Structure 1
Amino acid sequence: MVLRLVGIVGLTLLPWLAQAGEVSVHQALGKWLRDDGVASASYQPEEEGKDGRPADWPDWLLRPQGADALNRHLLGRGIFPEAAGLGWEEDAGAVRLFGASREASGLRLAVDRDGQHPVLLRDGEGVTWRFRDVRRQNGRASGLPQEIVRTDPDGERTVYVLR
């Protein structure tokens, strides 16, 4: 009798426990949103002679304009704002994955599970952005990337450093 009661209670709680694992992008990036992304930080190409930022600079993620704007950006591309799963990034460890479930099939965003900041962004055209050497500074909750590395589909890399 006791085992049946425990089983019934367990089955009743199962849907609730399954939902508890779902995290929306605005929850995963909560600290990042509170810090206003990179806020007023400025990034410049590390290589001498290069100037400015490319046309595909991901301002929607770096300066997100709040949770609603972030969710709208994903929904506007047909992507649910809930995590697609968990993954592993060499530089960051365990990450939450948003967007395309397969690596090369569309927009994919990896968010650090502990620091709540973006680790990797791959757009639909194959351009990859890596946010590296994230440090907490100036009272920020989420940290600030010291480098943003853009790799185009041909493998050409440009490193943007915090100035």
Structure 2
Amino acid sequence: MKKTSKRSNDLIVSDTQLNSVDSEKDKNKSQINFDQLPLEVTLKIFSQLDIQSLCRASVTCREWNDTIQSSDSIWKPHCLSLRTVCQREIDDDLQSGYSWRVTLLRNYQKSKVKHEWLSGRYSNISSSFSLPETIMYPMDADTWGEILEAELER
């Protein structure tokens, strides 16, 4: 009886081991490396990411970084969303020949600060000492003019 029991346990272990080996083979067959995807599919995947996720993905590996940085189609929608706040700045950069990615980089922080000003977040500040220095961003005279006009209308 012991002999049969031991033998059936060996068979069970062997079956389990065989099943795990088979499942590993199946898993390897079904996995596709990212570099095997067509460029169109890769760009479609990256275009679904937000700006922060794109930046994180670009530091994953050199291939992803090259793909993300060289594809303006990935950056264009993000840049156009900033255009609602920084239309003049973005249009000027595009006319100057900057790529969508560079235009986004040049205007991202500015758009955040400008949006805060235009939405009235800093309307009740009594002096320049009350401004949060860490989030301020240098802006040109035209941008400050837009902000001043918005403040005067309030």
| TM > 0.5 fold call | no
TM-score, normalised on structure 2?
A: 0.28
Greater C-alpha radius of gyration: 2
TM-score, normalised on structure 1?
A: 0.27
- Higher RCO, 1 or 2 (CA under 8 Å, sep at least 6)? 1
More strand by share: 1
More helix by share: 2
